[in-house]
Amino acid sequence: MDTKPLLDYLRRYIDLDQEEEALFLSKVKLRKYLKGQYVVQQGDVCLYENFVLSGCLKSFHMDPEGHEHIVMFAIEDWWTGDLGSFLSQTPASLNVQCMENCVLAQLSHSDLQELYIRIPKLERFFRIIIQKAYVASQQRIVHNLSMPARDRYLHFRKQYPRIDQRVPQYMIASYLGITPEFLSKIRSQLIYEQ
């Protein structure tokens, strides 16, 4: 497993010369995780921004009653972690756990600060991808406020077909903010309708 997907991803947004690419890669740590392992644990400081080279992860918050609430999934070419914790280097409110064996490209906080100084173009890169993430997050809030569960599920399947196929239903239910039983009911209604 190499870092090519990460470089391809970078090149979609900015042009780095050979030297800059080499510098960037020198700060990237490749790390393998087994299915079930935690990349971030609630209460610990999130040490890395993680780019997914292979595998599938979920990030979720565990509430005081012990219920999981899935905030997002991540697959190849996505970033994951607890950004709030990473930025301020304070305890995370989220867990990030591997649902398959994973290979991640990791950037530490101090290395990233250094990279921002030595390769200012990276500011642009991260500005652009975080803007996209923010827009998606706002759109999800609107959907949660304005759509019933059934429509949110249909929208999720359309927007993330690659993820829908890959994760168990009860996690999709958690992502949508409903119980697995209710998602099962919705699915049986959808099948009945056609």
In DSSP terms, which residues pair with 70 in a beta bridge?
60
Q: How far apart are CA 77 and CA 60, in angstroms?
A: 19
Output phi, psi for 56, to 5 deg: -150, 130
Does 179 contact DNA by CB under 7 A? yes
* Chain centroid, CA 90 distance in Å: 19
Does 178 contact DNA by CB under 7 A? yes
Nearer to DNA, 110 or 169 (CB): 169
Query: Which residues of the shown chain bind a copy of itself in the complex (CB under 8 A)?
Result: 61, 63, 67, 69, 71, 83-84, 87, 93-94, 116, 120, 123-124, 126-127, 130-135, 137-142, 144-146, 174, 177
Q: How many residues touch DNA (CB under 7 A)?
A: 17
Does 5 contact DNA by CB under 7 A? no
CA 159-179-134 angle, 5° bins: 40
State which of residues 148, 155, 156, 159 lies at the interface with DNA (CB under 7 A).
Answer: 148
State which of residues 12, 118, 124, 187 lies at the interface with DNA (CB under 7 A).
Answer: 187
- Residue 43, CB-side half-sphere exposure with 13 Å CA sphere: 3
